[in-house]
Copies of this chain bind each other. A is one copy, B any other.
Amino acid sequence: MAVYTQLAAEELAALIGHFDVGELVSAKGIAEGVSNSNWLVETTGADGTGARFILTMYEFRIEVEDLPFFLSLLDHLAAKGCPVPRTIHDRNGALYRMIDGKAVALIEFLPGVSVSHPTPGQAKAVGRALAQVHLTGADFEGFRPNGMDLFESRRLATACGHDGMLRIDPALADLVERELPGLEARWPTDLPRSVIHADLFPDNVLMLGESVTGLIDFYFACTDITAYDVAVTHAAWCFDHEGQNFNPAISAALLEGYESLRPLSTEERAALPVLARGAALRFTLSRAYDWLNTPADALVMRKSPMAFARRLAFYADPANSGIFA
List which A1-32 residues lie within 8 A (CB) of chain B: 1-3, 8-10, 12-13, 24-32
- With A113-B13, A114-B9, A116-B8 as known contacts, state yes or no: A30 contacts B40, CB within 8 Å: yes
Query: A113 — which chain B residues lie within 8 A by C-beta?
Result: 9, 12-13, 24-27
A contacts with B, residue count (CB < 8 A): 32
The answer to the question of A299 belonging to the interface, with a C-beta cut-off of 8 Å to chain B, is yes
Contact of B30 with A29 in the complex, beta carbons under 8 Å: yes
The answer to the question of A111 belonging to the interface, with a C-beta cut-off of 8 Å to chain B, is yes
Given B2, B28, B40, B42, which contacts A2 in the complex, CB threshold below 8 Å?
B2
| This chain's copy number in the assembly | 2
The answer to the question of A208 belonging to the interface, with a C-beta cut-off of 8 Å to chain B, is yes
The answer to the question of A102 belonging to the interface, with a C-beta cut-off of 8 Å to chain B, is no
Residue in A9, A29, A42, A113 with the greatest tally of chain B CB atoms within 10 Å = A113
Query: A10 — which chain B residues lie within 8 A by C-beta?
Result: 115-117
Closest to A114 in B: B9
Given B2, B9, B13, B208, which contacts A31 in the complex, CB threshold below 8 Å?
B2
The answer to the question of A297 belonging to the interface, with a C-beta cut-off of 8 Å to chain B, is yes
Contact of A8 with B111 in the complex, beta carbons under 8 Å: no
Query: A25 — which chain B residues lie within 8 A by C-beta?
Result: 111-113, 208
Query: A206 — which chain B residues lie within 8 A by C-beta?
Result: 26
